[in-house]
């Protein structure tokens, strides 16, 4: 988006929705601002995204991590590993029971 330099008052007089002063906002964005609130458009877009995610039930803390490289967090990896371990244990136990019933043998598979 290209913004022509104008002050908030000028934009208001021209009935524009945006104005651009070239002065960075408190978060360092050099972009247009809304005449209505004076908010930087980038900040407004971020706030909109956050409230959208909040409405969807996505924790705000997660959106803060979006700028970091994609991939599961250490917490997610630990949870997934625990889930797989539990699944393996259940499958192994089931198999042991099946072998015992079907063949009458006690066959012990290593429980992972």
Pattern 73-92, Zn ion, x by CB under 5 A:
--------------------
Through-space distance between the first and last CA atoms of the chain, rounded to whole angstroms: 57
Decide: is 29 part of the binding site for Zn ion (CB under 5 A).
Answer: yes
Q: Is residue 98 classed as helix, strand or coil in its secondary structure?
A: helix
Contact predicate 6/23, CB 8 Å = no
- 68 sits near Zn ion (criterion: CB under 5 A): no
Place of tokens 């429980």: 111
Using the contact rule CB under 5 A, the part of the chain among 1-9, 34-42, 81-89, 92-100 near Zn ion is 34-42
The nearer residue to Zn ion, 39 or 53, going by C-beta atoms, is: 39
Instruction: Assess 42 for contact with Zn ion (CB under 5 A).
Output: yes
Stretch that binds Zn ion, among 10-18, 23-31, 53-61, 100-108 (CB under 5 A): 23-31
The gap from C-alpha 112 to its chain's centroid, in whole angstroms, comes to 33
How far from chain centre, in Å, is Cα 1? 26
Binding residue (CB under 5 A) for Zn ion from 1, 2, 15, 27: 27
For residue 10, which of 26, 32, 43, 28 has the smallest C-alpha distance? Answer: 32
Binding site for Zn ion (CB under 5 A): 25, 27, 29, 40, 42-43
């Amino acid at each position: 988006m290209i913004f022509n330099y104008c002050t908030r008052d000028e934009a208001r007089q021209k009935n524009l929705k945006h104005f651009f002063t070239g002065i960075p906002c408190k978060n360092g964005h050099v972009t247009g601002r809304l005449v209505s609130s004076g908010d930087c458009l980038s900040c407004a877009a971020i706030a909109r995204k956050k409230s959208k995610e909040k409405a969807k039930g996505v924790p705000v803390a997660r959106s803060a991590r979006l700028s970091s490289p994609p991939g599961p967090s250490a917490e997610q990896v630990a949870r997934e590993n625990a889930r797989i371990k539990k699944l393996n244990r259940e499958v192994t136990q089931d198999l042991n029971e099946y072998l015992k019933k079907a063949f009458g043998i006690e066959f012990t598979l290593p429980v992972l």
